[in-house]
Amino acid sequence: MVTAPIEGFSTKFGDDGRNLTASIVNDLGRAIVTEAFTQERAFPTEAELCLRYHASRPVVREAVKMLTAKGLLHARKRAGTVVQPEASWNLLDPDVLNWMLQRSFSIDLLIDFTEIRMSIEPRAATLAAHTSTGPQRRAIVDAIGRMLAADRGEEDSLEADIGFHIAVLEASNNRFMRQFTDLVETTLRFSITRTNEYKGVPRASARDHKRVADAIVEGQATLAGERMRDLIKGALDLLLTAGNRPHRP
């Protein structure tokens, strides 16, 4: 029975045992994504996991079930639980994406996700100009206010920037676009810092974001979409340049 720590994940949890299942999921998920476990390096048995985490079988089974739902594991008859290849992972799951972003930096991952943003956020801005409610528009305006305050050193620029993009997705009133809010937030926490570094500035341009917000608030749908596209295209171009990739239309 394996009891020694395996490189890539922790065995330390809160003494009160709260959120033990979530802690095990996070620990094992990160270990799988960072290749502490692979198809060649066997995943621990249920008994080994119970011993390692001082957890009951139901708790361990629930954690494994959640990782299986994320595409990281697969239970096979007479073969036990095995790690799945990356092609099987649910990359739209915020947890999976977060674990992937925590491993060795991959600019290709940020480029791929920014491409997805290009297909979603400009349309979200267009819809927001058409369908957003008063409170939703105020949320967008408030986010711009926070970005401007960040320029004065009075707010957290990263949180304000993320808040703007989330507010626009929410204001689209499209139930599927709203499902991307957690995913966008997860990725922006990594990509905003990188693109600002490549741009040589401490924070994103509040002015450029305000141009998008103004178009939404004024109900100029086409202009809102165009300005959001320009905003994200600028970030994409920076990533492509940094990664020595050809620029795309």
pLDDT digits over 36-82, tens only? Answer: 988 787 899 999 999 999 999 999 999 999 999 999 999 887 778 99
Classified as helix, coil or strand, 105 is coil
Binned at pLDDT 50, 70 and 90, residue 33 comes out as very high
Alpha-helical regions (H) of 86-133: 94-102, 107-131
More confident residue, 102 or 137: 137
Q: How far apart are CA 94 and CA 186, in angstroms?
A: 6
This prediction has a pTM of 0.81
In this prediction, residue 68 carries a pLDDT of 97
In this prediction, residue 198 carries a pLDDT of 82
- How do beta strands 80-83 and 73-76 pair? antiparallel
Structure tokens at 94: 């915020």
Query: What is the amino acid identity at position 82?
Result: V
Question: Torsion angle, CA of 15/18/21/26, rounded to 10 degrees?
Answer: -80
Binned at pLDDT 50, 70 and 90, residue 166 comes out as very high
Q: Which CATH architecture has domain 20-87?
A: Orthogonal Bundle (1.10)
Q: How far apart are CA 226 and CA 231, in angstroms?
A: 9
Structure tokens at 58: 């139901």
- Find the range with the poorest average confidence among 4-13, 15-24, 133-142: 4-13
The Cα-based distances of 140 to 84, 144, 147, 172 in angstroms read: 40, 6, 11, 11
* CATH dotted code for 105-242: 1.20.120.530
In this prediction, residue 197 carries a pLDDT of 83
The angle, 0 to 180 degrees and rounded to 10, between the axes of the packed helices 107-131 and 94-102 is 140
Neighbour count for residue 66 (Cβ, 10 Å)? 18
Q: How far apart are CA 27 and CA 25, in angstroms?
A: 6
Structure tokens at 114: 């920014």
Classified as helix, coil or strand, 152 is coil
In this prediction, residue 10 carries a pLDDT of 47
In this prediction, residue 232 carries a pLDDT of 95
DSSP letter, residue 18: T
- Is residue 141 within 8 A of residue 243, CB to CB? The reply is no
pLDDT of 129 over the 80 cut: yes
pLDDT of 103 over the 90 cut: no
* Residues in contact with 91: Cβ distance below 8 Å, sequence separation at least 6, in sequence order: 97, 100
Give the mean pLDDT of the chain.
89
- Find the range with the poorest average confidence among 12-26, 68-82, 91-105: 12-26
pLDDT of 111 over the 60 cut: yes
Listed by start position, the domains of the chain span 20-87, 105-242
Structure tokens at 47: 């008994």
